[in-house]
Amino acid sequence: MCSVILRSSDGADHVVSQEAASLSKTVQSLLEELEAAKDGEESILIVPLPNVCDCTLRKVLQYCIQHTMSAQQVTEGPTPSDELKKREMEAWDRDYIMVSTDELYHLVMAAHYLNVPGLLELCCEGIANLIRGKSPEHVRQCFGLVKDFEAPEEESIRCTNLWALVDEKEQAKK
């Protein structure tokens, strides 16, 4: 399979296999459009990604390349070691997502923009792990959120979403 160049918002070029780049549905559709537009000419496909900076694109490509290689190994035929490979990939994912809150934010935004479902799910899982068991105040502080509800509005929301407060009450008891 041929290679493509993905160009970040700050002009950095990254050469990757078309298969790895195609884990992004956004890039895949752009590649299809570029393929159709070139009319059989042999040229290098350059895909501009104006909403993703270089450092975030590197991290996204790391995910895409790793998952492409893993998929190639598994599709070569079912073997007894497939379960081991799956566990290794899960461990790699856990290590991959252990990043700062700021980096995680940029990864979520890039995964959403590039439409990489597996990466977006992994990032959301990382955010869920960050906020699990934390008080609303701690979550606000962690993500730099401003408490902009008046007391009656907040009470109304709490009453409407009692199910969400079960863990909070259990944490207060401990």
Q: Where are the domains of the chain?
A: 3-131, 136-173
Residue 113: per-residue pLDDT: 97
Q: Which CATH number fits domain 3-131: 3.30.710.10, 3.40.50.720, 3.40.50.970, 2.60.40.10?
A: 3.30.710.10
Residue 4's closest CA among 41, 33, 54, 46? 46
Residue 41: per-residue pLDDT: 61
Report helix angle 117-131 to 101-114, nearest 10: 150
Output DSSP code: residue 77: -
Write out the chain's pLDDT in tens, 174 residues: 588 999 999 999 999 999 999 999 999 998 888 777 666 566 678 899 999 999 999 999 999 999 998 877 655 556 667 788 888 999 999 999 999 999 999 999 999 999 999 999 999 999 999 899 888 889 888 888 888 888 898 888 888 888 766 655 555 555
Measure Cα distances from 124 to 84, 102, 111, 116, 121 in Å.
25, 14, 10, 12, 5
Question: What is the rounded distance in angstroms from the CA atom of residue 95 to the CA atom of residue 92?
Answer: 5
